[in-house]
């Protein structure tokens, strides 16, 4: 049961993390439009390879923090402030979510795989993201730091990331689909961070003795 719970949390957390337009998913979309879906999917596979490694490292670190509650309490309070600030930004300050995709040269399929790995290495956000997600859900008893559970969550993160990148690749499969980029994703991102803020606040209040 713990393995299944870890897998579901890892899968959903990965999808949520890749939904907002960013460097990796928009680059995959660009490759799809310029070079075809096959190369875009190869690029996505390279990204997921790095994501698997990053997730496993983050979960190992999270397991250490879980064994030291004094650090977890501080981490949750800092995370709450960060997510509230992000929520306010996306709801009231951010103006536009459209981002230009970077220009690049024509790569082979093998080159696209390694370019996906290297580009994903530049994105360090998965490390604190997975630490926070795992510790928060572990506090509710929904996430296990057992070795099988860690592998399940790691595998799920790679699958979830690939699924969401595949959606971007399919969604922007033609140049004409660039017009669909004119969608304001701020409220979606703000809603996600608001939900995370509420979960974090509940966990902090529970730690202070308030029951829910």
Tell me the two tokens of residue 130. Answer: 């997975």
Domain ranges of the chain: 2-207
Quick one: pLDDT at residue 201?
81
Q: What are phi and psi of 97, to 5 degrees?
A: -100, 0
Per-residue pLDDT of the chain (212 residues; tens, 9 = 90+): 789 999 999 999 999 888 776 778 888 888 888 888 889 999 999 999 999 999 999 999 889 888 877 776 777 777 678 778 877 876 777 555 445 544 544 556 678 899 889 888 877 778 888 888 888 888 788 899 999 999 999 999 999 999 999 988 887 765 444 544 455 556 666 777 787 778 778 877 777 766 55
Distance of CA 21 to the CA centre of its chain: 11
């Amino acid at each position: 049961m713990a393995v299944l719970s870890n897998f579901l949390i890892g899968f959903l957390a990965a999808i949520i993390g890749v939904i907002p337009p960013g460097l990796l998913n928009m680059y995959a979309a660009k490759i799809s439009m310029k070079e075809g879906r096959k190369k875009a999917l190869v690029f996505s596979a390279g990204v997921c390879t790095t994501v698997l490694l990053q997730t496993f490292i983050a979960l190992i670190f999270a397991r250490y923090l879980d064994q030291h509650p004094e650090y977890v309490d501080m981490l949750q309070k800092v995370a709450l402030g960060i997510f509230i600030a992000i929520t306010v930004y996306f709801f009231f300050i951010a103006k536009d979510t459209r981002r230009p995709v970077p220009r690049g040269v024509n790569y082979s399929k093998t080159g696209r795989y390694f370019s996906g790995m290297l580009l994903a290495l530049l994105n360090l956000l998965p490390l604190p993201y997975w630490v926070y997600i795992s510790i928060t859900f572990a506090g509710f008893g929904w996430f296990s730091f057992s070795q099988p559970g860690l592998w399940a969550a790691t595998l799920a993160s790679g699958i979830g990331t690939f699924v969401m990148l595949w959606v971007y690749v399919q969604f922007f499969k033609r140049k004409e689909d660039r017009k669909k980029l004119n969608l304001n994703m701020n409220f979606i991102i703000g809603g996600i961070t608001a939900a995370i803020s509420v979960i974090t606040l509940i966990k902090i209040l529970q730690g202070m003795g308030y029951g829910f």
